[in-house]
Amino acid sequence: MKIEKLLIANRGEIALRVIRTCKKLGITSVAVYSDADKNACFVKMADEAYHIGESEASASYLQIDRILEVCKRAEVDAVHPGYGFLSENPVFAEKLKQNHIIFIGPEPESIRQMGSKSLAKALMSQHKVPVVPGYNGESQDEKLLLEKAKEIGFPLLIKASAGGGGKGMKLLEREEDFSNALSSAKREAMNFFKDDHVLLEKYIQKPRHIEFQIFGDKHGNVKHLFERDCSVQRRHQKIVEESPAGLPTELRKKMAEAAVNAARAISYVGAGTIEFILSEDLSFYFLEMNTRLQVEHPVTEMVTGLDLVELQIRLALGESLENMKWPEQTRGHSIEVRVYAEDPENKFLPSIGVIRDLHFPSGQDIRIDNGVEKGSVVSIYYDPMIAKLIVKAQDRANCIDLLLNTLKSSYVFGLTTNINYLTHIISHPEFIKGNVDTGFIQKYISSTEQEDIHDDLNILLAYSYIVSFVRIHVENLNNYVVPLGMHNHDILPGSGQDSFSISDDIFSEKMEFRYKSQYYSLSLIGKGGDRDHSYFVVAIQSDDKLQEIQVPALKTYGRRRIITNKNEEIDYLRYGTRFFWHFSGKTYSFDLIKKAETARNRGDDSYFSPMPGKVLKMFMQEGEEVKEGALLLIIEAMKMENEIKANRDGVIKEVHVKEGELVPQDAPLLTMEAV
């Protein structure tokens, strides 16, 4: 048996990851893509690519029959499912098997057994693997579920039985919230997994999330590749993963044995992950099994030197684990962070748009698993993860240092990402000490800012003003030239001189910028110094506060970088009226406000969509009286629900949208007036 042609039933960075291993093994790679992904990186890199449907995942990447049609047309030998989408769908695996196509994964029955959290827990209990107390029965009657919730006690988790990754999961602190949380969990579960069955689980306080990477072959052998600590999570979604987890030797051995036994219980074949909850007293409980490759698999590759995708392929072809060289211990320490297109300072709402420029550093112990490039579009249709940064060092302390340097050297211009937020997490003293559990972010990370950014903000506002002036007035100033070989907006001051010269008529110019929700009015009020030490004096007014700051003049002004006369290099990008800057290890963006534009009044009476998405459900109508905190409507984007609640008591005056309507960011939703 041989694999000459392999189809990747996925998209983005995991599709690229599988394609790389295919190239290494001499296997022809076949991609499938939706309307939204027709120009994506993975489509360009694959040897062959086939269109399978519209942008919605339900009309493309979740269409089993369409993917099977492509398998037949392309005459592929095997399919790699990646993660998400159909990766843990037993029907998909079964249909491939019926069509004599190798599924790079476990048997359909294993997926079915572990895909249902309730069945998986029952099976683990039978094989004496400890499980968290809860309810995993078949009945979904709301009254019964509420009674079971009371028996278990609060806080508790409502979890999609068929799910994972925090999708369809709700943490409940109070009985009063049960009905709304149950409805929301079921909707998300149906949306993501086409199955709204849920289970209830006791919420373990201050747990760590430890998982073991396992592999099984077709000869009954199961081995593990050590553990990963995935405790740093937001909304039950992992964002930082590392290996090893720093467990006591005896505990690590017990957990590894439990993981191997769990896989043996279902005669598991292929790559899988056994996830455990580890309590403060070092008791551990089976959480779930993921019957696929994990997003965080690179940290295991970094500390073992193995290619896990290659292992998957070899095991699918029937090779024995006994004939493979297997590491006896990990080497060094590795940490991965997930870069998302989202706004940490706006409730982590997805950031939609075009990537205008991006930079990630390279190095021997730095790995970037990137699914995008300059010009890539991040849409509302899929998960907003755009890249993973993975580093390795001899120990955890050095690994953290390398990761911080990597993060501070990385930027994405064109939309908002969580890179600054990740830097905040990794540099936090408690993370550095290793004092981490699944509540780490909620407890310690209340803001994205490590320190006061006031000085940096003023400097970049000043340079935004200066760059704006050059772009606006260059046609009127004869002392600016366009250097040979550069574009017409790459302006250097002076006829071949290095110093930055500027005419006096700009002193009458005023410009207004917006940073987040704050407005700043800037004007140039002075300049001084000699040729090598010249500077500008800029006045910055915000509200009633007026400041004057002095910034070094520009030595050069290029398309993507300015250099001050202090030889400071600052990366930037201007696109339309928006400026993006990377400075002191952080990324900032400003909007240039035209003089005629005034800020829109966004009082408590008006509600606007915080993001592009679909109006999923409405809970009010015109003329209805509502209380502060009442749920008004739900906006869905990237399959995640975002609740819009009343800011105060009032009466719904006007409703501007209806259920099912697609709305852009900032679209008016409703107007409310005081009672």
DSSP state of 130: -
Question: Which value, to the nearest 10 degrees, does the dihedral of the CA atoms of residues 187, 191, 194, 196 take?
Answer: -20
- What is the spatial distance between Cα 345 and Cα 588, in angstroms, rounded to a whole number? 12
Q: What is the DSSP letter of 363?
A: B
187 is catalytic: no
Taking a C-beta distance cutoff of 8 angstroms, is the pair 129, 122 a contact? Answer: no
CA distance 285 to 121: 10
- Distance, in Å, from the CA atom of 613 to the CA atom of 640, rounded to the nearest integer, reads 10
Catalytic residue among 228, 234, 292, 356: 292
Which phi and psi angles does 216 have, rounded to 5°? Answer: -125, 150
**Tokens 């400075």 map to which residue?**
583
Q: What is the H or E stretch that residue 619 is in? A: none
- Residues 6 or more apart whose Cβ sits within 8 Å of residue 80: 6, 7, 8, 9, 10, 18, 104, 309, 312, 313
Report CA-CA distances (Å) from 411 to 316, 400, 490, 563, 580: 39, 18, 21, 18, 10
CA neighbor of 640 nearest in space, from 430, 352, 349, 429 = 349
209 pairs with which residues across the strands?
277
658, amino acid identity? K
Cα torsion angle, 368, 374, 376, 377, sign: positive
- CB-count burial class (<10 Å; 0-12, 13-18, 19+) for 572: buried
Task: Look up residue 345 and give its amino acid.
Answer: E
Question: How far apart, in whole angstroms, are the C-alpha atoms of residue 360 and residue 366?
Answer: 10
Q: Which residues contact 269 (CB under 8 A, 6 or more apart)?
A: 106, 107, 110, 216, 217, 218, 315, 316
Q: Which of 513, 499, 410, 524 is nearest to 461 (CA)?
A: 513
4 contact partners, CB below 8 Å, separation of at least 6: 27, 28, 77
280 backbone φψ class: left, alpha, beta (φ>0; ψ -120 to 50): alpha
Neighbours of 377 (CB within 10 A): 15
Question: Across the chain, how many H-helices and E-strands are there?
Answer: 16, 42
Q: Is 66 left (phi over 0), alpha (psi -120 to 50) or beta?
A: alpha
Residue 371 sits at φ, ψ, to 5 deg, of -105, 5
Residues annotated as catalytic (active site), given as ranges: 292
